[in-house]
A and B are shown apart, each in its own frame.
Chain A
């Protein structure tokens, strides 16, 4: 039920804040159509979708809301409105959500291509990836040795991405993905604030080498 006009407005506003207000260069990487050859890989997403769909159907056919809407005091009969993230995760995302955001982003890129923002101090570009965009985002952040390119997203995989320590590129300097989680990000006229996590932080916290993070990921992952 998300209004696509609102989605468009929010996307436009966020991009305006980044590019025009705070003069931040923005590179957007969009997922491509190719995916890893696999048999089981997307099972958890499929299960999650089924739960979301079931929640929606129950709501429309029997007026039953998911457990996250139930108040602690059930006898009161009151409905608790969960936080937005939980709310969104209980029901399927709007089908046209991605197309709407993508369209808004291409409109921005088109304006830059046509020179409508030739006075802008920052650039904006959209890149269509062959596969999932995470690696391209991580790569762009990692290759900036000044550590001023941030991978903005909502995916802890950015804490795992990184060159192998014996990679020849290491001579360039500090090649770490600067992960800036979206849920900790605040953007307004005054500035952009958030916290940055790198793979090095994780490795130091657990006293293991960075290379091992990829390996332990397989055995320590939990269902989301």
Chain B
């Protein structure tokens, strides 16, 4: 009954053996199987029994616990606790086990020394809590910045992971299987840093901001670590980078294809107001061009120093490039800053000369602060092929800037840019500068070539002919019917079997989940010495399941990666030798009659087809099997994907443009875009905005109502914004905000059961917890 004693322990019993022996000697006639009740019997008969010790420490403990248990004053016994006293967790690694761990994320020969240094840095990092300037993130990160060596890439990784965790945008149901001991160690350090910060925050001051559940999501953290580990796979050997030295080489200055074109680029930007740079992924456009321009003298002799904005379509790209250049170019570290929406400003100072920004931020900044660009030398628009509405509006504003600001120069960069279109739009006479060339060839086979190249049955050859005829007959104007799609599934499976060798992967590009399920079922029915392992890549599939695509297949295994256009760009699958392309995708289209967007199966563009083929031939020669005829590709496929502005209702665009430019005709502004939207679409949007009470008139002479002002300020879908506005008016703001938050979530809040993804017992509803 009397167990759990903090003040007399097993260790003490050993050290004070005489005290224990006292009872063995005196109470039970030497009976070693002494019972507790016997002890109590004996003690109760002793008058004034009390325990004492000859050991001063032990005696002090006895006196303390006596005062404690008798509810007397214990203050004289107390002293301040050393917080680090119980923090040895996860770092008392034995040397032998450390050696086995070949992929330490924090690579230090003596982890304990590292932890001591970390602990010492926790104290100053946690101090200095001061009012409004307190930043939870910087306090949590500062021990890492203080302790880790310069050039270590873990700090930006942790910062990015922290941002993701704070955004709470990811949700996983299980711990990734590749989790390593070193991950646990890093997680421990990170949590200790969070704890040290939380311990100095006055309780209740920062409210929910400081809830550990809002700061640290261990599943999200571990998934980010595993994803990071996958990124570091060496494409040549498929091995993980074995130590920090090799990994950190990612952030040292390597020779890149674009370096050979430095002079041409500098000459072009000096002589031309607009320069277009086209180069394949990895050629170094994004990271080198800003540095080249920053290091070169200003293009105008009147400028003292170069000033520029570099625009990226995504926040993660802007952030990671800022960090990367700050690390690879330490002499330019203080000249690089970051600005994004929601007031994000990082590394900004009076010395800053180059700002990485997001497209959305720059559109709003440029529209409202044209005067601020009077001393800007360069505006670099990266990934210009990503034709979002913001991107097209930015090009429009940049074109206007060329007229009003005689000094500024525009640099457009992309891997698959529609150069002609941009040349015409910006009135550029110089041809694009091409940087970087493909190292390995890709063999292309269209539907009419496949039968000659592969040994297929007569039935399959007949199916190939039918597909060719149908595509040519329909001129790829309509999406294929279900009969056509079914044939594609079987052909893709047969081609994969024919070309797939043990230890390699075949990537099949399909349009949607139904295709993924159907093709997987075909492979599941196959029996033989080679095992076909189907891995889906689809936006509805949890991130960790998609990560399987990066695992190397075994020698007797062919990995069949079945992907939608989610795998078209931004990922590298090193062991893919063969790509099979259906030529189809799901795309958003605009219906003029209903003034609504629809998700439909449609034919891809040539640019998409090129991107898909580019998933192979990256580390060795590859082949692409296109399940559509050459004529369709040459004559019927669009050259590039249509801009989002042509495929979307323009309600939100019009409302935002009005807040930016109050005096001009919105119709005229939109007509100045690189691909102007249809007038009917613009008029439909005027009507829609007026009908929904966001504007005062159903034409170009409108003003924004108070409800319109609110939804613009909220920056969410207009209908959902209106819900919040009406909720506020009707006194149910809290409830409508909750509903709006749920509706704003881009994916279903439910995890769809799918036999492809879950084990049978989970799929059938048992043990659906980790």
Contact = CB atoms under 8 A, between A and B. Distances in A.
Interface of B: 1-13, 15, 19-20, 22-23, 36-37, 39-41, 43-44, 49-51, 57-58, 60-62, 64-66, 68-71, 74-75, 77-81, 83, 85-86, 88-90, 92-93, 97, 100-101, 175, 179-181, 184, 188, 191-192, 194-195, 198-199, 203-204, 207-208, 210-213, 216-219
Contacts of A138: 71
A100 B12 contact: no
Given A156-B1, A160-B69, A107 B78 contact: no
A61 B92 contact: no
B9 A53 contact: no
Interface string A2-44: 1111011000000000000000000000000111111111111
B188 A40 contact: no
Contact of A57 (B19, B79, B181, B210): B181
Contact of B39 (A39, A53, A216): A216
B213 A95 contact: no
B92 A50 contact: yes
A179 B379 CA distance: 71
Nearest to A92: B89
Contact of B5 (A56, A135, A221): A221
Contact of A220 (B2, B100, B216): B2
B115 to A, nearest CB: 13
A159 B89 contact: no
Given A56-B90, A107-B207, A110-B207, A222 B3 contact: yes
Given A96-B195, A157-B69, 18 more contacts: A2-B218, A3-B218, A4-B217, A33-B81, A35-B81, A36-B7, A37-B64, A37-B77, A37-B79, A60-B180, A94-B218, A99-B195, A135-B74, A157-B6, A160-B69, A162-B69, A163-B71, A217-B8
Interface string A118-131: 00000000001011
A133 to B, nearest CB: 12
Given A110-B204, A218-B62, A49 B86 contact: yes
Q: Which 7 A-B pairs have the closest CB atoms?
A: A223-B10, A221-B5, A4-B213, A44-B9, A34-B78, A60-B181, A95-B191
Contacts of A209: 44
Contacts of B90: 53, 56-57, 92
Contact of A38 (B22, B43, B61, B181): B61
Main DSSP-derived SS at the A contact region: helix
A103 B212 contact: yes
A78 interface: no
A219 interface: yes
Contact of B6 (A34, A44, A56, A164): A44
Contacts of B211: 4, 8, 100, 103-104, 107
Nearest to A201: B1
Nearest to A209: B44
A131 B75 CA distance: 8
Contacts of B89: 49, 52-53, 92, 95
A119 B147 CA distance: 51
Contacts of B8: 217-218, 221
A135 B71 CA distance: 6
A93 B305 CA distance: 55
Q: Size band of the A side of the interface?
A: 35 or more
Given A44-B9, A44-B10, A53-B89, A156 B3 contact: yes
B185 to A, nearest CB: 9
B192 A159 contact: no
Contacts of B195: 95-96, 99
B194 A96 contact: yes
Interface in A78-105: 92, 94-96, 99-100, 102-104
A67 to B, nearest CB: 19
B3 A221 contact: yes
Given A49-B89, A157-B4, A36 B64 contact: yes
Contacts of A159: 1-2
A207 interface: yes
Contacts of A192: none
A46 to B, nearest CB: 8
A220 B70 CA distance: 18
Contacts of A39: 57
A139 B213 contact: no
Contacts of B180: 60
A148 B60 CA distance: 35
Contacts of A202: 1-2
A148 B641 CA distance: 73
Interface string A182-216: 00000000000000000000100011110011111
Contacts of A7: 213
A215 B6 contact: no
A220 B13 CA distance: 10
A96 B69 contact: no
B584 to A, nearest CB: 40
A155 interface: yes
Interface of A: 1-5, 7-8, 33-47, 49-50, 52-53, 56-57, 60-61, 92, 94-96, 99-100, 102-104, 106-107, 109-110, 128, 130-131, 134-135, 138-139, 142, 155-157, 159-164, 167, 202, 206-209, 212-224
Nearest to B100: A61
Given A61-B100, A206-B37, A223 B80 contact: no
Contacts of B77: 36-37
Given A4-B217, A34-B78, A219-B39, A61 B181 contact: yes
A110 B89 CA distance: 32
A155 B2 CA distance: 10
Contacts of B36: 206, 220
A36 B65 CA distance: 9
Given A8-B211, A38-B61, A214-B69, A208 B2 contact: no
B212 A131 contact: no
Interface centre among B64, B69, B80 (most CB of A within 10 A): B69
A109 B58 contact: no
B10 A45 contact: no
B49 A37 contact: no
A212 B43 contact: yes
Contacts of B88: 49-50, 53
B24 to A, nearest CB: 11
8 contacts: A35-B79, A40-B11, A110-B207, A134-B68, A161-B68, A213-B2, A214-B66, A221-B8
B4 A43 contact: no
Contacts of B60: 37-38
Nearest to A223: B10
Given A8-B211, A209-B44, A156 B6 contact: no
A208 B97 CA distance: 52
A57 B210 CA distance: 30
Contacts of A156: 1-4
Given A4-B217, A92-B89, A215 B51 contact: yes
Contacts of B181: 57, 60-61
Nearest to B83: A33
B216 A36 contact: no
Contact of B192 (A57, A95, A109): A95
Nearest to A58: B97
Given A218-B51, A220-B2, A34 B194 contact: no
Given A8-B211, A34-B81, A61-B97, A40 B58 contact: yes
Given A4-B213, A61-B101, A96-B195, A207 B44 contact: yes
A33 B703 CA distance: 61
Contact of A214 (B44, B65, B97): B65
A5 B321 CA distance: 33
Given A95-B192, A131-B78, A163-B70, A41 B213 contact: no
B11 A224 contact: no
A215 to B, nearest CB: 5
A40 B606 CA distance: 75
A157 B70 CA distance: 11
A94 B70 CA distance: 33
